[in-house]
Structure 1
Amino acid sequence: MKHTLILGTLLIAANANADVLGLTAEVGSYSPDADLWAADTNTTGTSDMDADSGIYYGIALEHPIPVIPNLRIQGTEITADGTATATYNGSSYSNAAASIDLSHTDFTLYYELLDGLFWLNLDLGITLRQYDGYVEISNDRTDLSETLPMLYASPFIDIPGTGLSIGGEIKYLSYDDSSITDTSIKVKWESPFLVGIEAGYRQHEIDLVDVSDLDVYSDNSGVFIGINIDI
Structure 2
Amino acid sequence: MRKLSCLALLSVLSSAQVQADTLLGFTAGIELWNIDSSGSISDISESDLQSFDLGTEVKGVASIAFEHPVPLVPNLKVRTNDLSSDGDMVLSETFRFAGTTFSAGRAVDVEFDMQSTDFVFYYELFDNDLVSFDFGLNLKYLDGDIRVEDIATSQASQDRFKGYVPMLYSAAQIGIPSTPLWVYGDLNILSVGDHKLQDYQLGLAYSVIDNLAVDLRVKGGYRSFLLELDDLDGVYTDWDFDGFYMGLEVDF
Pair in the same fold by TM > 0.5? yes
Secondary structure at the aligned position of 2:178 is classed as: coil
- Of 174, 181, 189, 1:164 maps to 181
User: Gaps spanning 5+ residues in structure 2: where?
Assistant: 1-20, 150-155
CA distance in 2, matches of 1:159, 1:91: 55
Aligned to 1:9: none
Q: How many residues align?
A: 213
CA distance in 1, matches of 2:49, 2:192: 23
Distance 1:91 1:102, change over 3 A: closer
Distance 1:58 1:137, change over 3 A: same
Aligned to 1:3: none
Q: TM (normalized to structure 2)?
A: 0.79
Opposite residue 24 of structure 1, the aligned amino acid is T
- Of 85, 108, 122, 2:133 maps to 122
Opposite residue 109 of structure 2, the aligned amino acid is A
Identity %: 26
Distance 1:44 1:177, change over 3 A: closer
Once superposed, what is the RMSD of the aligned Cα atoms? 2.1
CA distance in 2, matches of 1:44, 1:24: 40
After superposition, what is the alpha-carbon deviation per residue over 1:126-150, rounded to whole angstroms, capped at 9, x for unaligned? Answer: 0001112212223221112111111
Q: Is the 8 A contact 1:71 1:109 kept in 2?
A: yes
After superposition, what is the alpha-carbon deviation per residue over 1:63-95, rounded to whole angstroms, capped at 9, x for unaligned? Answer: 112311101011111111123425134552332
Alignment of 1:189-200 (within 5 A): 189-192=206-209, 194-200=215-221
Aligned to 1:143: 160
Distance 1:111 1:225, change over 3 A: same
When Rg is computed on C-alpha atoms for both structures, the one with the higher figure is 2
Opposite residue 169 of structure 2, the aligned amino acid is Y
Q: TM (normalized to structure 1)?
A: 0.85
Aligned to 2:33: 30
Aligned to 2:145: 134
Q: Is the 8 A contact 1:209 1:216 kept in 2?
A: yes
CA distance in 1, matches of 2:232, 2:40: 14
Distance 1:164 1:109, change over 3 A: same
